[in-house]
Amino acid sequence: MGIGGCILLIAAGAIITFATDWHAKGVNMDLLGLIMMAVGAIGLAAYVSIFKRRRIPPTADGDVPPVVEERYYPGGRY
């Protein structure tokens, strides 16, 4: 679930909780809306924290340094 899905859950939960007066037998619609908002907020927080970890910090000049791979072979054999 991405940012869009999380925001959609929060918005749908807010609409169900605050903008409707629906009544269903055996279902508390206010509680359902609050649960949807909570799940959306938790999902949004998890997505943002994962996205933050994947970000590579830039160097002073703004470029990411290239990765240089060197191999060492004992005995000079290639």
Structure token digits, residue 69: 């791979």
Residue 51 pLDDT: 77
Q: What's the pTM?
A: 0.64
Say how many Å lie between the first and final Cα of the chain, rounded.
Answer: 47
Amino acid at 29: M
Rounded CA separation 61/64 (Å): 9
Q: For 1-55, how does the pLDDT look when each residue is reduced to its tens digit (9 = 90+)?
A: 788 999 999 999 999 999 988 888 999 999 999 999 999 999 999 998 887 766 6
> Tokens 């359902």 label which residue?
32
